[in-house]
Amino acid sequence: MKISITKDKFNEALKELQKDYRIFAPKVFPKAGVFSDTDLIKYSEIGSYEEMAFHEKSHFSPKEVTLPITQILFHFNEKEFTESKEDEMGTIVFLRSCDMHAVKRVDAIYLQNKYEDYYYKRVRDKVKFVVVGCERSYDSCFCVSMETNRFDEYQMGMSIKKDEIFLDIKDEVFHVFDGEKKEFEMNFVTENDIKVNVPENIELKDVIDLEMWREYDARCIACGKCNFVCPTCTCFTTQDIAYSDNGKVGERRRVWASCHVDGFTDMAGGHNFRQKHGDRMRFKVMHKISDFKKRFGYHMCIGCGRCDDACPEYISFSNCINKLNKELKGGE
Ligand code: SF4
Ligand code: SF4
């Protein structure tokens, strides 16, 4: 059912949904950005249309709603462990088409990668998604090249056109949105300024010793920001936290990890597989545009460009893909 709806009616419906769901969307945090006078846009709980920030690209992705930065798995003492409590409430996430494609990738890693991850699944099962169209393409986006610029199998679609709200309701939960029947097309972008040519069927032996990775030995400072803003980076580490009043009692947490930072490949005995920062870049690139596709049939990178926006050394992932393509074609 396609409708147009006023902001007041939209907010009334959000209030109704909040009885059973926590609602997440990109939200502006004034002056909390990289510089003292810049804002931060990140996913957070919202209660009204006015709090949603779809006028710009969010700096962080919706990934942290389903895959929290820190997640308590269980509590332990010397005799037993107790599973952490589930949130009884459901979750609704308003997100863009590329980020919805990213959810598909995270699902592949956590639900279809031989084993089903119990802690991911129990959160994921309670989430509904609203795909929001993009009024325009943003700096550094290359979603069209990665074929993530549109997503049609949404539970509800939303288009914001010159401050008018249009909804395409497919899931009965969203029938609380009460508007006037109206035909409209979702406003997915069809062109980006940045285009990438992803090389296909890459073999590790053809890329492992390329000179191009050495550029990143010096430029990359191994801060991991690119991984933390990426909607499809899914690596984690585990930490056992012992409580200070009794060291035998504590909790096990799952915490985001980054393949760029020191220590990620440390092994017992002190061996480290990828000491050079350029080798870490190569590993990430291969995962995003080759290894994942070999297993699941589509690229892991969704072309959101957040890694380019976040890198303090101005390293561009899209440039890197194009450089690799050129190298593999003999510099053409
Ligand atoms: S563009 Fe960068 S941040 Fe976005 S999915 Fe690809 S690797 Fe991740
Ligand atoms: S954000 Fe840039 S400098 Fe930091 S780890 Fe990623 S590529 Fe390296």
User: What pLDDT is stored for residue 163 in this prediction?
Assistant: 78
Q: Roughly what angle, to the nearest 10 degrees, separates helices 317-328 and 277-286?
A: 80
pLDDT at 263 over 70: yes
pLDDT at 272 over 70: yes
pLDDT at 45 over 80: yes
Q: Which helix (H) or strand (E) holds 277?
A: helix 277-286
**Residues 206-219 pLDDT 10s:** 999 999 999 999 99
Which residue puts its alpha carbon closest to atom 6 of ligand 2?
A: 226
Tell me how far apart the alpha carbons of residues 37 and 27 are, in angstroms, rounded to a whole number: 17
Which residue puts its alpha carbon closest to atom 6 of ligand 1?
A: 301
How do beta strands 127-132 and 90-96 pair?
A: parallel
Region 40-64 average pLDDT: 96
Ligand 2 site, residue 223, Cβ cutoff 6 A: yes
Tell me how far apart the alpha carbons of residues 283 and 263 are, in angstroms, rounded to a whole number: 15
The model scores a pTM over 0.85: yes
Tell me how far apart the alpha carbons of residues 48 and 108 are, in angstroms, rounded to a whole number: 32
How do beta strands 246-256 and 70-76 pair?
A: antiparallel
pLDDT at 265 over 70: yes
CA of 285 to the centre of ligand 2 (A): 12
* Joined tokens for residue 9: 């009616």
Ligand 2 site, residue 22, Cβ cutoff 6 A: no
User: What pLDDT is stored for residue 35 in this prediction?
Assistant: 86
Region 241-252 average pLDDT: 94
Which residue puts its alpha carbon closest to atom 3 of ligand 2?
A: 220
Ligand 2 site, residue 259, Cβ cutoff 6 A: no
Burial class of residue 231, CB neighbours in 10 A (0-12, 13-18, 19+): buried
- The DSSP-derived string for 173-222 is GGGG---EE-----------S----PPPS--HHHHTT-GGGHHHHHH---
CA of 220 to the centre of ligand 2 (A): 5
In this prediction, residue 166 has a pLDDT band, given cuts at 50, 70 and 90, of very high
pLDDT at 40 over 70: yes
- The DSSP-derived string for 16-71 is HHTTTEEEEEEEEETT-SSSTT--EEEEEE-SSGGG---SS--SS-THHHHS-SEE
User: What pLDDT is stored for residue 331 in this prediction?
Assistant: 64
**Residues 219-246 pLDDT 10s:** 999 999 999 999 999 999 999 999 999 9
Q: Which ligand is nearest to the CA of 102?
A: 1
In this prediction, residue 154 has a pLDDT band, given cuts at 50, 70 and 90, of very high
Q: Which of 4, 66, 69, 57 is nearest to 28 (CA)?
A: 57
The whole-chain average pLDDT of the chain stands at 95
Q: Which residues lie below 8 Å from residue 172, measured CB to CB, with a gap of 6+?
A: none
